[in-house]
Structure 1
Amino acid sequence: MHSSLFRFIAAAIALIAIATPVACNNDVIGVYYPNYSGVDIGNLHFQPSNHVFYAFALPNTDGSLPAPSGLTEFAQVVNNGGAKPILSIGGGDHSTNFPALAASPSARDTFTQAVKNLVDQNNLAGVDIDWEFPDTADDFNNYRLLAQQLRSALGSSKIISAAVPGWLSRASMKPIVNESLDFVNLMIYDNVYNNDGRPNAALMGDSSSVQAVVANWLDEGIPSNKLVVGVPFYGYQGMAAKTYKEIVPLQDGSSGWSYSFNDASFTPQLTNVNEKITYDNPKSIAAKAKYAACMNLRGVFAWEITQDNGDLVAAMSGDYPSGSGDSSDCLQSAINSSSEAFCFYPTNMHSFLQRLIAVAVALAAITSPIAANNDVIGVYYPNYAGADISNVHFQPSNHVFYAFAFPNTDGSLPAPSGLSHFSQVVRAKGAKPILSIGGGSHSANFPALAASASSRNTFVNAVKNLVNQNNLAGVDIDWEFPDSSTDFSNYRVLAQQLRNALGSKIISAAVPGWLSRTSMKPIISESLDFVNLMIYDNVYNNDGRPNAALKGDTASVQAVVSNWLSAGIPANKLVVGVPFYGYQGMTAKTYKEIIPLTQSSSGWTYSFNTASFTPQLVKGGEKITYDNPKSITAKAKYAACMNLRGVFAWEVTQDNGDLLKAMSGVYPSGNGDSNTCLQKATA
């Protein structure tokens, strides 16, 4: 929210309760990236995973290990994205050389040196041994020696993991795991033996289920923090594998396939006459991730990222609570807290992101740091909130707006506190740092500033200096609000000067939806990359209206967007604003404050207003109107379908992560028809 009312309240709240970083209880959120998939890592949105495994390097029997194609670029991209790049060695048919390699001291030496060289030369976080599969006592003994040598060579700071099937001998692996490995990736899938109708990857009710496999490994004395649960981003139609992206279109019923959920295994399935597809969806993946967290395991991983549309990696990446470690209790907790809503609102499935995240999807056509049809996924970061940017998990946003720098009437612009640090952190995590200038009551100097040629010159030069000195991606003008023809004329001149001075840098503006479109049109067309439409704060006079309706209101997203488009503003210049807060009467409340009130024990009653497509809470004569992941998702989908530039939020410290994830999904572009897009967004 950009209003002075909420700024005052937000600042007061921040003084009392400073926002802290939120992290996943599952320490490892891993995905395998098969380089042979044809999806360039530069175009692959692997986040919110924090461990990315390059598959594969192929060892020779003499221990030599040729550097695989694109490994350097892979490591650079993953490191820049804030995750850990790990080289997986072997895999499937490419494991056949491991027995001879591990049996020979000279080959082990050669292999260990080759691994160390690749790790050091490419700035890798570690290696993953995917030997499929050691099957004799000699194999396991030699594996143990090989792992010991790797640990000695790589030291304690580098990761050494191993991918193993759940059925592999735990007794044989125990000394290897306990002595040398950080963790093992348990491949608990591919259980469709002989086309016998079993689920590909059951959570429970099967001897090869997650529950059974984890219990077996724990019973062997393998520490829980050494175990990572594997989940598949694919399923099977009979014995033929199908990626999740291939399965998704079959779920809507029009294809002839019928969807059902197998409660016995806690996995979904599709049936068509005598055929069946067994697979995982966000509901089942979320349950497995919750189970892993409750069992205090190391985390979850998936094979493999390019098979997903973003829903599954979002589901496995949540801030799920640790628990008692009791299998029955954890199973009950995992399945009771998973709901069918996950099938439709994938970003509802995880609250805040581990380390630095972006929406995970593997689409070859994507080229921005965030996987979404919405090019801009923006959040405002109020430096005065007291939350250091290093501890704020702003991803999967790709544009982060520092709020605010305060201009003076003479055009001078003092450098705000921590701007350089802000820029460094945001860039390190792959997003664009943008300085927002003005904001609320701090916009009061803009009219005089813009009216004076000398003040404009001073201001433009000050902006350029701050941008260059702090390596910013651009600036955002938050003038609240120009209200005369003179203001708009001067705004236009100011924006032209900024464009001339900054060149191709981003120049955006935050504007309320009701601002004069005709007055803004030349400013936007000539000088701005986009405008952030502040479509919220609509609780006028405590009249019961929703804070930020999607539809059914003259101040709704649908109405505002239609008005700006009708004025001739291009769709790709418009960014839809969403609030990470709501109102109790006329008092603002952050989403983090509202969440506990959604529990029935709070005394508040939850309902969803289908007319505005926003949630609300009611208690007695009081009402809280706000947004939740369902309503935010609908707005982001609508923006994508309307081919707008994207979505942004005020502001990131008010969220627990759920809303940011909801607005950051990979939502399809559309035909730009408002009614059609509204139907798709709310379906």
Structure 2
Amino acid sequence: MFGKLSHALNRSPSHNKHTHAESNPHGEGITGVYFSNWSIYERNHFPTDIDWQWVNHLYYAFLSIDTNTGSVSFSDTWADVEVPLPSPLDPSKKVHGLVAQLRQIKQLHPQLKIMFSIGGWGYDHTFEAITHDARKLDTFASQCAKLVIEHGFDGVDIDWEYPKTAAQGQLYCRLLETLREKFCEISPSLLITAAVPGSEEYIRHLDVKRMDNSLDYWNVMCYDFTGYSWSQKTGFHSNLFGANGDTDLCADVALKSYGSRGVAANKLMLGMPLYGRKFGGVEVPGIGQSFDKQKFSDEGIIEYAKLPLNHSKEVFDPRKVGAYCYDPTTKTLVTYDNVDSAKVKAVQVSSRGLAGGFYWDSAGDKHGELIRTFSEMLRHSNSTSTH
């Protein structure tokens, strides 16, 4: 089953001039997670809530871009650099802002890599705007380097969702190359990652081979494969294998796509969700069933911490590697990753020689349950495979 995939993913591309700084920290693989700066409000979630013994890469989301100048800045200055927070080094003292708190956490956990994540959903136009102007692009790269060095972080994560044409894909390459050149002038050890699509609809617009020369890791977003606002049938939104509701999307296909384009296995990160996708008006529980698009006024998203739903039974599909629960009283079905998903995906990451996995986003976990399960199983699997 995995013969062709293994061959594709484990090739070491000769065109890649940039050698990434690390591929397997401490031999345990990477467990990464995105932290969103808006988590401190309604969700009341802070970096100190994360169990750092299980996480070695943190992506701080999101920084924003000034399309007039190319300058990079904090998107919420109160949360990022002003709000008084307990000092992780001395709880009797305060630090100002999440960035300062994370910097102290990094001092307590030297293995931790922290990245500024720039962009996010709906901000693709900001990237396109600056890549058309060499002066703006140089300002962007210089600002990225300045912020990383100033705050003691380890690099940046580019979250351009998504280039919609081949021309935009070339602009993406230009941005990454400018950034890599600037980083190399300062410190070759600074990391550049990118959160990239898991659907061929968008992957086809990327010049993957050219991008690979500048990237340390590819954070492949293997989630949101289905959703009530665009799908016609219920489906797993983060399945590892197989056809899915009314699409053929799955993580296996996404990873194959990047591997077949020359990305080495140890640069690929498997993306996983800490939230579920809801479908309302489901009369018959299961995948590939009809639902009512008018049942939700929200985004149809629910945090993993609130799953499974009340009055529901959780079902795990070991073939697709996905879970769902169904509440017969409200006729609501939710698809998501559960503990079993985390275990299987960790084993797959290890057996395929991938760099690791990451989750979006930290506030959605239930007492760190999925992150801990994935990280623990990944360490165990990697340890077993080396003996």
In structure 2, relative to structure 1, the CA distance for the partners of 1:450 and 1:423 (3 Å cut) is farther
Cα offset, 1:449, TM superposition: 1.0
Cα offset, 1:654, TM superposition: 0.7
Query: Is 1:521 matched with 2:208?
Result: yes
Query: Is 1:420 matched with 2:131?
Result: no
Residues 163, 206 of structure 2: 8 Å contact kept: no
Cα offset, 1:638, TM superposition: 0.6
Between the aligned partners of 2:176 and 2:55, the Cα distance in structure 1 is: 26
Residues 640, 667 of structure 1: 8 Å contact kept: no
Residues 394, 400 of structure 1: 8 Å contact kept: no
Matches within 5 A, 1:41-120: none
Cα offset, 1:576, TM superposition: 0.4
Q: Which of 344, 347, 358 is 1:634 aligned to?
A: 344
1:512-569, CA deviations, whole angstroms, 9 ceiling, x for partnerless residues?
A: 1123257332343210001100000122425111010011133212121122212222
Query: Is 1:411 matched with 2:101?
Result: no
In structure 2, relative to structure 1, the CA distance for the partners of 1:524 and 1:639 (3 Å cut) is farther
What residue number does 1:379 align with? 33
Matches within 5 A, 1:414-563: 414-416=73-75, 417=80, 418=97, 419-430=99-110, 431-503=112-184, 504=188, 505-514=190-199, 515-516=202-203, 519-540=206-227, 541=231, 543-553=233-243, 554-563=248-257
Cα offset, 1:619, TM superposition: 2.3
Tell me which amino acid in the other structure corresponds to 1:605. K
Tell me which amino acid in the other structure corresponds to 1:567. R
Between the aligned partners of 2:101 and 2:232, the Cα distance in structure 1 is: 40
In structure 2, relative to structure 1, the CA distance for the partners of 1:668 and 1:611 (3 Å cut) is closer
Greater Cα radius of gyration, structure 1 or 2: 1
Between the aligned partners of 2:107 and 2:216, the Cα distance in structure 1 is: 20
Q: Where in structure 2 are there 5+ consecutive unaligned residues?
A: 1-22, 81-96, 280-298
Q: Secondary structure at the match of 2:346?
A: helix
Cα offset, 1:429, TM superposition: 2.2
Between the aligned partners of 1:488 and 1:635, the Cα distance in structure 2 is: 29
TM-score w.r.t. the length of structure 2 is 0.72
Q: Which of 542, 566, 573 is 2:260 aligned to?
A: 566
1:321-364, CA deviations, whole angstroms, 9 ceiling, x for partnerless residues?
A: xxxxxxxxxxxxxxxxxxxxxxxxxxxxxxxxxxxxxxxxxxxx
Between the aligned partners of 1:582 and 1:441, the Cα distance in structure 2 is: 21
In structure 2, relative to structure 1, the CA distance for the partners of 1:587 and 1:435 (3 Å cut) is same
Matches within 5 A, 1:130-279: none
Q: Which of 381, 392, 395 is 2:50 aligned to?
A: 392
Tell me which amino acid in the other structure corresponds to 2:139. T
Root mean square deviation of aligned Cα: 2.2
Between the aligned partners of 1:559 and 1:604, the Cα distance in structure 2 is: 31
Q: Secondary structure at the match of 1:440?
A: coil
What residue number does 1:368 align with? 25
Between the aligned partners of 1:555 and 1:668, the Cα distance in structure 2 is: 26
Residues 524, 530 of structure 1: 8 Å contact kept: no
What residue number does 1:402 align with? 60
1:16-74, CA deviations, whole angstroms, 9 ceiling, x for partnerless residues?
A: xxxxxxxxxxxxxxxxxxxxxxxxxxxxxxxxxxxxxxxxxxxxxxxxxxxxxxxxxxx
Cα offset, 1:383, TM superposition: 1.2
Cα offset, 1:658, TM superposition: 1.1
Between the aligned partners of 2:301 and 2:217, the Cα distance in structure 1 is: 27
Between the aligned partners of 1:485 and 1:518, the Cα distance in structure 2 is: 5
Q: Secondary structure at the match of 2:324?
A: strand
What residue number does 1:75 align with? none
Between the aligned partners of 1:529 and 1:367, the Cα distance in structure 2 is: 12
What residue number does 2:15 align with? none
Percentage identity across aligned positions? 28
Q: Secondary structure at the match of 2:307?
A: helix
Tell me which amino acid in the other structure corresponds to 1:606. E
Cα offset, 1:439, TM superposition: 0.6
Between the aligned partners of 2:257 and 2:311, the Cα distance in structure 1 is: 40
Query: Is 1:663 matched with 2:343?
Result: no
Cα offset, 1:393, TM superposition: 2.9
Tell me which amino acid in the other structure corresponds to 1:449. I
In structure 2, relative to structure 1, the CA distance for the partners of 1:562 and 1:655 (3 Å cut) is same
Cα offset, 1:466, TM superposition: 0.1
Tell me which amino acid in the other structure corresponds to 2:261. A
1:229-269, CA deviations, whole angstroms, 9 ceiling, x for partnerless residues?
A: xxxxxxxxxxxxxxxxxxxxxxxxxxxxxxxxxxxxxxxxx
Between the aligned partners of 1:441 and 1:518, the Cα distance in structure 2 is: 17
Indicate the structure with greater helix content.
1
What residue number does 1:579 align with? 273
What residue number does 2:290 align with? none
Between the aligned partners of 2:210 and 2:34, the Cα distance in structure 1 is: 22
